[in-house]
Amino acid sequence: MEIKWHGHSCFEITSEEGIVIVTDPYDESIGYSMPEVTAAIVTVSHEHYDHNNVGAIKGKPEVVKSAGEQICKGMRFYGVGTYHDTSRGAERGENTAFLFDVDELRLCHLGDLGHVLDESQLRSIKEKDVDVLFIPIGGVYVHHRCKGC
Tens digit of each residue's pLDDT (9 = 90 or more) over 93-108: 688 999 999 999 999 9
User: Domain range for residue 110?
Assistant: 2-134
Domain annotation covers residue 81 = yes
Residue 146 within any structural domain of the chain: no
Domains in the chain, number: 1
Query: Average of pLDDT values for 105-123?
Result: 88
Secondary structure (H, E, C), 60-129? CCEEECCCEEEEECCEEEEEEEEECCCCCCCCCCEEEEEEEEECCEEEEECCCCCCCCCHHHHHHHHCCC
Strand partners, 111: none
Is 28 inside any structural domain? yes
In a domain, 148, yes or no: no
- Domain harbouring 33, CATH code: 3.60.15.10
Decide if 17 is inside a domain. yes
Q: Give the tens place of pLDDT for each residue, 76-85.
A: 999 998 877 7
Give pTM, 2 decimals. 0.88
